[in-house]
Structure 1
Amino acid sequence: MKSLNDTVPKTSVHSQRGQCAKRLSILEAAAEVFCRQGFAGASIDEIAAEACVSRQTVYNHYREKENLFTAVVEDVMDRANAMLFSILSTFPENSDNLEDDLTAFAVRLSRNCICNQDGKFLRRLVHSEGERYPHLFESWRQHGPGKIGTALAALFARLAHKGLLQIDDFDVAARQFLALVNADLQMSTLFGATPTEEELESAARNAVQTFLRAYSGAAVDRKVHPAATKAVSA
């Protein structure tokens, strides 16, 4: 029985590999140039030079700069989403110490999805170009922030079902958790800095403690039964 490699001409296989290599080289070069120059400042000539291909090769693959920019965002977002769902798979669905387990999860989320190279790249582009070219980030809005919020809301719903959390609106809780995790890291990551492990741990611990004060069963009991709390403290 012939293998696939036996039925496809070697010249065709080599040609396909060459095209894939060129496409990858163009995407990587374009990401660097867009990050440095922004969308308006980036030129196809500069991208072609950085990718070591001709200007016409770039146009053959992407036709125009807007298509190339969109392809760059989608390529980075695909990698970011793959890493994100890998981290979400480590979410603590059963826990004897929810604070410690959620803190460890938040550290992983920050280190691998927020403070990594792809996360920094996407934030920098959104901050610099999002207002001027909102249509270029439509795919990012639909498949980036929306995905993580929905997935995290479902995970919190499982914890609530087990009685570990008291949450009325899981989508709101997911957004608040992400905002809290970002709170202490926002300024440093905005300027491209990479937080230390100690800073990641401190930011995660602060976020989780605040989150649990709002959504743990004990917090809800104190809110609903203030008189009982007073009696206990007295």
Structure 2
Amino acid sequence: MTHTMAPDTIPPRGHRAKRISTIEAAAGVFCREGFAGANIDMIAAEAGVSRQTIYNHHGDKESLLAAVVAEITERCNARIFEVIATFPDHPQDLEADLIAFAMRFNTSCICDRDGKFLRRLIQSEGERHPHLFAAWREDGPARVWSALAARFARLAHSGFLDIDDPDAAARQFLALINADLHVRFMLGDQPSEADLRSSATNAVRMFLRAYGRRD
């Protein structure tokens, strides 16, 4: 026998559940409508919360966008650093190992749902609201560049690469592995596995032409 709960006995959603629901709904609405086109009533309806709940938790629409960026950045960083932990510090085949790493990075960190949300928000709102993305620049790219630079510095120290500026090398590596995918991202296309492999292969080979050791 199936028992149903009377409406007044259904336990209310907790603060964390409402917060997550609000962030997810706001991310979707901001990406779809843009900051100017989005409104709190629209977000509240999609989140299944009251507009007053959003005002109580976030204050206004601008603060809500900042909260969305911070939350998605934190989630993206968690996955990015999991992938960076697999960086080939002791490569058996430097080119093949870096291509595999680039594939993991793009698949897990760039082409996933959060990566798409963050990219769209930055492209559509970054120029109009740069102050809302200041924390993202420090907590996102700056941390990733620094962590990746340390890995490339170790490869150079071990004699695999010839690098004078690991920070520049890290930025260039990330730019290269996304170069072939950039137009697809702008058009909303989903790259295939073959596209990701081609992009990673082209990027790594170009990177090694610049930084590979020449004995």
Tell me the TM-score normalized by structure 1.
0.85
Q: CA offset at residue 193 of structure 1?
A: 1.4
Unaligned runs of 5+ in 1: 1-13, 222-234
Aligned to 1:95: 91
Q: CA offset at residue 95 of structure 1?
A: 1.1
State the distance in 1 between where 2:149 and 2:143 align: 10
Aligned to 1:108: 104
Unaligned runs of 5+ in 2: 1-10
State the distance in 2 between where 1:76 and 1:197 align: 24
State the distance in 2 between where 1:28 and 1:114 align: 18
Corresponding position: 1:60 with 2:79: no
Q: CA offset at residue 162 of structure 1?
A: 0.4
The amino acid that maps onto 2:154 is R
Corresponding position: 1:146 with 2:142: yes
Aligned to 1:199: 195
Tell me the TM-score normalized by structure 2.
0.92
State the distance in 2 between where 1:22 and 1:95 align: 45
Q: CA offset at residue 214 of structure 1?
A: 0.9
Aligned to 2:30: 34
Pick aligned residue for 1:22 from 2, 18, 21? 18
Pick aligned residue for 2:207 from 180, 201, 211? 211
Corresponding position: 1:74 with 2:35: no
Corresponding position: 1:44 with 2:37: no
CA root-mean-square deviation? 1.2
State the distance in 2 between where 1:35 and 1:100 align: 36
State the distance in 1 between where 2:76 and 2:188 align: 17
Matched length: 205
Higher relative helix content: 1
Q: CA offset at residue 173 of structure 1?
A: 0.7
The SS at the match of 2:89 is: coil
State the distance in 2 between where 1:151 and 1:80 align: 14
Which runs of 4 or more aligned residues in structure 1 lie more than 4 Å from their structure 2 counterparts after TM superposition? none
Query: What CA deviation, in whole Å up to 9, does each residue of 1:120-172 have, x standing for no partner?
Result: 11111111111111111111111111111111110000000100001001111
